[in-house]
Amino acid sequence: MREFLADGKTLSEAYHKALKLLQEFGDLTDCADWNTRQKEVSMTICVEEPLSEPMISKCFIGGPRELQQYCMEMLDGILDFEVERGNWAYTYHQRYVSQLPFVVEELKRNPSSRRAAVMVRDISDIGSEDPACLQHIQYFIRDGLLHCKVLFRSNDACKASFMNAFALIMLQKKIADELGVGMGTYTHRANSYHCYERDFDLLAGYVSRINAGEDITYDYDGEWQEVMEEYIPEILSSVEELKNR
């Protein structure tokens, strides 16, 4: 399996590089669990300035509402009750949230620590039909900045990776603010960065737009943020309805 690095100043720049690398160099492999084929590489996406604009790419499935809801799931645990009801095996928030106080306290205790790590994978994933894709998050303070490095065992390039990265950057900012430090780099490692055969045309379309130099980005600050936040009451109402079913 081939290894690639997609780096850039902004999230959208690095993400677009990753899509192009997957399209050009992805190996066509069988995906027996899903009775399909996939394009696949190992990918490391490194964002130099995670909050720099333009953050938002048009090359993902969804819009402001979907991205806002995903951030609320990841940061606030708005759907953790589905785990408590036994409907879901896990949420990422439910897996990591109890470990964050340790991360904060450890980095306050020793800003040069290499121990501020969060495990998302747990023993229940062994043999599960739905094991967690996100495995591990680690934070470092270097030169007064909080750096974040995450590991995915498996990451759907077209339909998940952008929203994953965006929400994890928002989590990084939340922790940086609590620690009173600035934002460092965000590094997103996917051992299997892939696109399923049903989405080959979607990937090709994304890459065609990127290569054509189309305007395929938005600013988050001052553009998408306000629109996303307008959906919060609607999202919370939908969640409340789901709870009451």
Q: What is the CATH number of domain 3-243?
A: 3.30.572.10
Amino acid identity for residue 80 in this structure:
D
Burial code (b: 16+ CB inside 10 Å, e: under 16) for 7-17 equals: ebebbbbbbbb
Interatomic CA distance for residues 214 and 209, integer angstroms = 6
Q: Over the stretch 123-156, which tens digit does the pLDDT of each residue have?
A: 988 988 889 999 999 999 999 999 999 999 999 9
Residue with tokens 């939908």: 238
**Which tokens is 216 given?**
């395929």
Contact by Cβ (8 Å): 184, 107: no
Exposed / middle / buried, residue 85 (Cβ in 10 Å: 0-12, 13-18, 19+): exposed
List the chain domain ranges.
Answer: 3-243
Q: Over the stretch 14-62, which tens digit does the pLDDT of each residue have?
A: 999 999 999 999 999 999 888 999 999 999 999 999 999 999 999 999 9
Residue 15: the pLDDT is 98
Q: Over the stretch 161-216, which tens digit does the pLDDT of each residue have?
A: 999 999 999 999 999 999 999 999 999 999 999 999 999 999 999 999 999 999 99
